[in-house]
């Protein structure tokens, strides 16, 4: 059984840890509010742009004559997988769940005989995937210097790099693995195809009711301009969703850690009081026994 001094030291240590987890919980809660607002503010623009792309792509027909970013290369032999995680830990299973979904996606592609290349976004994903898939890495995006919710420059840079690699024939299909923010308690690991651009199935498609529209410039020229912007918007939206999910997971994890620390303090305090009472009782028995012996 631990001595009174050891128990007292452990109680003090756990109390210090509890103060740290409580502080991190409050910081994460403050950051979560701003991150959630930024993610929710970006959704209407992304959804509307997806609707525009869906309508324009429908207008160009299904003959594959549209821009390459929309029609594809005609093959799907080489896949580029973008894995987006956090730069830091202490956020529960947020990073582990995203990496697990990325592993599943990569293994499925390799089982189909596809050539897979990986770009990691965020340090934690690179660390966890490096041992198993390090030979597949071709690039890494560091977000450690990005100010909170200011991912515009990072998204534009990554979008330009993807477009350049695609035009050079480095890959046929690019997909993004990230955690979509659903609620404070739920972040959903998702796989989203980025290139060729594919608007979501639930994207709003306007019913022209038989009307014929003449575009100036043509649909193809409009798509040539909008598709790179659409890809950048997808990346930016995913970064904002991932940032909100990270803060939500961190707040939840720190709240659980604070509660667990409180339970451990109660348990250690009970042990300390019992040990102290036992020591006092022993000393009293020794004193009484000594007095009776006299």
Whether 106 contacts 191, CB under 8 Å: no
**Cβ(118)–Cβ(157) below 8 Å:** no
Q: Rounded CA gap, 278 and 1, in Å?
A: 12
Task: Write down how long the chain is.
Answer: 294
Please check whether residue 162 is in contact with residue 238, taking contact to mean a CB–CB distance below 8 angstroms.
no
CA distances from 85 to 99, 198, 226, 249 (A): 8, 23, 27, 12
On whether the CB atoms of residues 63 and 220 are closer than 8 A, the answer is no
- Cα angle, residue 226 at apex, residues 225 and 227 outer, rounded to 5°: 100
Residues known to be catalytic: 91
Contact 120, 129 (CB under 8 A): yes
183 sits in which H/E element: strand 173-183
Structure-token pair, residue 133: 């898939």
Tally Cβ neighbours within 10 Å of residue 11. 18
CA distance to 282, 286, 289, per residue, from 293 (Å): 16, 11, 6
């Amino acid at each position: 059984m631990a001595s009174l001094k050891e128990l007292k030291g452990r109680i003090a240590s756990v109390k210090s840890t509890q103060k740290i987890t409580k502080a991190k919980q409050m910081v994460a809660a403050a950051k979560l509010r701003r991150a959630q607002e930024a993610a929710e503010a970006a959704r209407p623009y992304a959804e509307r742009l997806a609707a525009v792309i869906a309508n324009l792509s429908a207008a160009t027909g299904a003959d594959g004559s549209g821009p390459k970013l929309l029609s594809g290369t005609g093959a799907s032999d080489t896949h580029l997988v973008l894995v987006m995680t956090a730069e830091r830990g202490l956020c529960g299973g947020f990073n582990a769940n995203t990496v697990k979904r990325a592993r599943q996606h990569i293994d499925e592609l390799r089982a189909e005989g596809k050539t897979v290349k990986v770009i990691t976004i965020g340090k934690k994903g690179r660390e966890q995937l490096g041992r198993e898939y390090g030979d597949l890495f071709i690039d890494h995006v560091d977000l450690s210097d990005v100010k909170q919710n200011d991912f515009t420059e990072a998204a534009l840079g990554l979008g330009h790099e993807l477009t350049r690699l695609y035009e050079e024939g480095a890959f046929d299909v690019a997909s993004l693995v990230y955690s979509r923010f659903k609620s404070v308690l739920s972040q959903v690991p998702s796989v989203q195809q980025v290139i060729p651009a594919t608007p979501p199935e639930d994207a709003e498609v306007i019913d022209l009711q038989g009307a014929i529209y003449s575009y100036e410039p043509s649909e193809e020229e409009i798509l040539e301009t909008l598709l790179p912007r659409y890809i950048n918007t997808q990346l930016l939206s995913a970064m904002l969703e991932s940032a909100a999910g990270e803060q939500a997971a961190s707040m939840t994890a720190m709240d659980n850690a604070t509660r667990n620390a409180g339970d451990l303090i109660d348990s250690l305090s009970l042990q300390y009081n019992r040990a102290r009472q036992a020591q006092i009782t022993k000393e009293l028995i020794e004193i009484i026994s000594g007095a009776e012996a006299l």
